[in-house]
Amino acid sequence: MAKNWWKILSVLLLIYTLIAGFLMAVPRLVIVNETVRALYFHVPMWFGMVVMFLVSTIYAVKYLKTPTVKYDILSVEFANTGLVFGLLGIFTGMIWANYTWGSPWHGDPKQNAAAIALLVYLAYFVLRGSVDNQEQRSRLSAVYNIFAFAAMIPLIFIIPRMTSSMHPGNGGNPGFNTYDLDSRMRMVFYPAVVGWILLGIWIATLRIRMRKAEEQILEIEDYA
């Protein structure tokens, strides 16, 4: 139980997010109205994705330094979870855009760049699927993983800010300012981010443990 405190923390933070996210006061803004509450769910998906991909890249580098199956499994499964978060982020964004911008796909630089970033990561799984040799697959995909992360950061955080974008926090003004996010919303938003990230790590670790068990079974079978 002592080892699992962060899982409990994640659940508590998510319950708080749901309750405070819907019941606490939010700024009364035109166009977005009540949908501003979607911020507690849509934005943490992207934060989660970036964290998962960062961890994935760290293990890709570790794999290249010392090639062991363990690092490869960690790298893949964090990328897997990151992709799920990214897809949820882009689809929740489409629902929100349909309401506030008028159409689900607006061709906004932020949307386009996010879609490209996800495609870059999808190619990672295509690459893995297309190489039979396990060592080769691990090494090639680890190298590609570093490239994918290096492409994702400017695509999501830099390019949309250099052009005009309707997405809040873009088009010249970096990050959240007082207009986008007031102190009442921060009280829910930051715990929400931590809660969702911890949930992502929980799901990723479960997948990793299953993959490791699978590897052990294969070892035992080889031995017998």
Residue 30 interacting with other proteins (CB under 8 A):
yes
Q: How far, in Å, CA of 41 to CA of 14, rounded?
A: 10
* Contact partners, residue 129, CB within 8 Å, separation at least 6: none
Tokens of 170: 């873009």
Helices 109-130 + 134-153 axis angle, to 10: 170
Output 105 or 202, the one with its CB closest to other proteins: 202
3-state secondary structure of 51: helix
* Contact partners, residue 24, CB within 8 Å, separation at least 6: 184, 187, 188
Q: How far is the CB of 21 from other proteins (least distance, A)?
A: 9
Binding-site member from 9, 11, 115, 140 for other proteins (CB under 8 A): 11
CA distances from 62 to 55, 142, 147, 165 (A): 11, 9, 15, 37
Please answer whether residues 53 and 44 qualify as being in contact, where contact means their C-beta atoms are separated by less than 8 angstroms.
Answer: no
Residue 29 interacting with other proteins (CB under 8 A):
yes
Alpha carbon of residue 83 to chain centroid = 6
Binding-site member from 2, 5, 28, 221 for other proteins (CB under 8 A): 28
Residue 22 interacting with other proteins (CB under 8 A):
yes
Kindly indicate which of the ranges 16-24, 123-131, 145-153, 183-191 contains the residues binding other proteins, using the contact rule CB under 8 A.
Answer: 16-24
Q: How far is the CB of 213 from other proteins (least distance, A)?
A: 5
3-state secondary structure of 182: coil
Residue where the block lists tokens 């998962």: 52
Residue 84 interacting with other proteins (CB under 8 A):
no
Instruction: Count interface residues toward other proteins (CB under 8 A).
Output: 22
Q: How far is the CB of 15 from other proteins (least distance, A)?
A: 7
Residue 38 interacting with other proteins (CB under 8 A):
no
Q: How far is the CB of 11 from other proteins (least distance, A)?
A: 5
What binding mask, one character per residue, do residues 172-211 give for other proteins by CB under 8 A, x or -? ------------------------------xx--x--xx-
Binding site for other proteins (CB under 8 A): 7, 11, 14-15, 18-19, 22-23, 28-30, 33-34, 202-203, 206, 209-210, 213, 216-217, 220
